[in-house]
Amino acid sequence: MNRREFSSSTASVLALSALGLPLVMPTTAQAQQQFKEGKEYVRLSKAAPVEAPADRIEVIEFFWYSCPHCNTFEPTFEAWKKNAPQNLAIRRVPVAFNASFVPQQKLYYALEGMGKLPELHTKVFRAVHVERLPLNKDELIYEWIAKQGVDAKKFKEVYTSFTVANQIRKATQLQNDYQVEGVPSMGVAGRYYTDGTMAGNMDNVLRVVEHLVGQARKKT
């Protein structure tokens, strides 16, 4: 989904989730193609900050829990992440194109802070896209969390903490540094950005990312 579409109401967005976004398997020719700067990816005019140590290459997935395309891409990305080389530092960054996105950013970072992401990250997607729970307001999130066997009081403390607020500030700055126009999309090494519009489909995005990792590795 690109930035233009985020003016739609949450109800409209959730209605789209039933359509999904089919992942198109590439032809042999596509798999062998040379990806070009300005076509399948862009190079940032100013490098974005990275959190990865010097011996690892940072790869970021920008996402939004209410995005149907992010929901479709999630299992593919997770499988790719599990099989990625050890010299990559892969992380997710929740975006906010307007203030209505912030509760889900807080949800992500609160779950991360409590060590609950492995258990609940996929369940958040399911709640939004299968169970049709918007989870876009604090009280809706608190109500859902209480049903997941999580300490609701502790969650609320983390959710409203300075630490989470600072993580959101950094996420929004990183989103701006990468000039994110839609999600799901990906950033590599603080230097490169690609998304499904540029690459053609999300399977191809991962191939572009692998190409960019190779480019970044040559420069280290």
Tokens of 56: 């690892």
Q: What is the pLDDT along the chain (220 residues), one digit of tens a residue?
A: 665 454 343 334 333 333 333 344 444 444 446 899 999 999 999 999 999 999 999 999 999 999 999 999 999 999 999 999 999 999 999 999 999 999 999 999 999 999 999 999 999 999 999 999 999 999 999 999 999 999 999 999 999 999 999 999 999 999 999 999 899 999 999 999 999 999 999 999 999 999 999 999 887 6
* Overall CATH class of domain 39-219: alpha beta
Burial class (CB in 10 A: 0-12, 13-18, 19+), 214: exposed
pTM of the entire structure? 0.86
Q: Where are the domains of the chain?
A: 39-219
